[in-house]
Amino acid sequence: MEEEKREEIQAKNRRIAVGATIGGVLVVVFLLIVLIIQFVQMGVLNGEIHDLNDSIETYHQTIENDEEILDEYLTGDALYWRAVMQGWKKQ
């Protein structure tokens, strides 16, 4: 009788151990999946940040080039030479 109780207790302990092991494995797998997803999102966002920084640099260069052209037009030299190229003559 006591041997049956002891076997039942051992069987119960084994079921508890198996359940705890399965639960632990599932928690670890879930955390790994979350971790992988986070790393992928970080990689995607870093790529977007890199693309945006490239776009910002391109716009800064465009602005600098346009400011140089604007400065030429504001001095009048570029307008004069453009008029001469169009066939205008100085009087």
Q: What is the pLDDT of residues 17-64, one digit of tens each?
A: 999 999 999 999 999 999 999 999 999 999 999 999 999 999 999 998
Residue 5 has pLDDT above 70, yes or no: yes
Residue 91 has pLDDT above 70, yes or no: no
- In contact, 48 and 54? CB cutoff 8 Å: no
pTM of the model: 0.58
